[in-house]
Amino acid sequence: MGYTMPVEYDEELVEELKKTFAGLESPVKIHWFLDPDAECVYCEDTQQILDLVQQTSNNKVTVIKHVKSDPETRKYNIDMFPALLIHGVDEWNIRYFGIPAGYEFGAFIEDIVDASTGRVNVSPEIKEALLKYVTRPTRIMIFVTPTCPYCPLAVRAAHRFAMVNKNIYGDMIEALEFSDLADKYGVYAVPKNVIQIDGEDKLEFEGAAPDPYFVAQILQAYGVELPQKLQEQLAGLGSEEIEETVEDVHEHHHHHHHH
């Protein structure tokens, strides 16, 4: 499903989306949170993406706009703008901070399908571990750029995990739009993944990791040992599988030095 969304799109993409969205079951609501007082460079482009999705889904997907001061903003713990939140059969914390463009567009479409069916592609062992050990609000921040081909894998993992356990907030963060935050976390390569528990940074790693590795990181953040079955799965993975999935953030970013 690797479609990327340029700002201009063609009939072919429209047809592909119609085909994909024919599989939607329950209606999907996309909540779009905006801060009217802040500059939003890509809001028009985001609006185009949302319009395209709404039209090609035969209106099975609805977009609901909120401003920063709306009660929904607090209800859904939205603390940065612009933000997109995808709800379907249920309300999970499947979130996008910044535009779901470029390679992220494919992740966005897959999330919409998952939210609509409520079915999530996670192994029983992974599901069990996430449900058993992730007991507090846990935020998985995935810093991305639209041109990074591996980033959607990390975003999708965070979002699939968010569908397994509502304590998990799966957050795509577009590093160029949220450059201050990216600087704070020293994002020089993407995807960069930060795990927070109760608002406290616990650990970070780079790359699009296979599920067992990713879950091992989450459990490590909790100070929990990985269950035996997952240890075996992890042992079967080569370390190069993770390292190959990292790419440097563009040159124009992060040129200022921190003293």
Q: What is the tens place of the pLDDT at every residue in 134-143?
A: 999 999 999 9
Lowest mean pLDDT, pick from 104-113, 168-177, 235-244: 235-244
The model's pTM:
0.93
State percent of the chain over pLDDT 90: 86
Strand extents, DSSP E, the chain = 28-34, 61-67, 83-87, 91-97, 138-144, 168-174, 189-190, 192-197, 200-206, 247-248
CA–CA separation, 202 and 183 (whole Å): 17
Alpha carbons 164 and 87: distance in angstroms, whole number: 14
Q: In the numeric block, which tokens belong to residue 84?
A: 């997109």
Looking at domain 19-248, which of 3.40.630.10, 3.30.450.20, 3.40.30.80, 3.10.560.10 is its CATH number? 3.40.30.80
Q: What is the pLDDT of residue 258?
A: 39
pLDDT score, position 219: 98
